Amino acid sequence: MINSMETIQEFERMYRKEYEQELEHCERWSKWCEKFNDTHGINFFQGMRAAHIFNNIQMEHLLRCLKKKRNN
């Protein structure tokens, strides 16, 4: 039988790794766009980064709810 808390923790580790990679991706592309003075690209990747941060806030809330122990 799979322990649900272990599954949640495994998901959380995977999620955090992917989240950090996405932020790094946006940062690298923003810097690349700055080098070529591409303001549309900069705005796009900064907006994408902001969306990832907003979604992360929601995911953190969801993870906190999932980690709460159920009343028996």
The neighbour count for residue 40, using CB atoms within 10 Å, is 8
Domain that residue 57 falls in: 22-63
Which band of pLDDT confidence, cut at 50, 70 and 90, is reported for residue 2? Answer: low
Residues 3, 35: Cα–Cα separation, whole Å: 49
Which band of pLDDT confidence, cut at 50, 70 and 90, is reported for residue 72? Answer: very low
Residues 21, 54: Cα–Cα separation, whole Å: 16
pLDDT tens, 5-47?
788 999 999 999 999 999 999 999 999 999 999 999 999 999 9
Please, are residues 48 and 26 in contact by the beta-carbon 8 Å criterion? yes
* Number of structural domains in the chain: 1
* pTM of the model as a whole: 0.81
37 belongs to a structural domain: yes
72 belongs to a structural domain: no
